[in-house]
Amino acid sequence: MKKTFAMLAVATAMMINVAPQSAWAQALTDGVVTKVDASAKKITIKHGPMKKFDMDDGMTMVYGVKDPALLAKAKAGDKIKFDADNVNGQFIVTTIEKAK
pLDDT value of residue 3: 56
- Please count the other Cβ atoms lying within 10 Å of the Cβ belonging to residue 22: 9
8-43 pLDDT per residue, tens: 555 554 444 444 444 444 579 999 999 999 999 999
CA 28 to chain centre: 3
Q: Is residue 90 part of a domain?
A: yes
Query: Is-contact 100 55, C-beta < 8 A?
Result: no
pLDDT value of residue 1: 56
pLDDT value of residue 7: 52
Q: Is residue 15 part of a domain?
A: no
45-88 pLDDT per residue, tens: 999 999 888 899 999 999 999 899 999 989 999 999 999 999 99
Per the structure, the complete domain to which residue 94 belongs is given by 26-98
For residue 58, give the DSSP letter: -
* pTM recorded for the entire structure: 0.72
What are the beta bridge partners of residue 98?
Answer: 80
Total domains present in the chain: 1
CB burial class (10 A; 0-12, 13-18, 19+) of residue 21?
A: exposed
Domain of residue 53, CATH code = 2.40.50.320
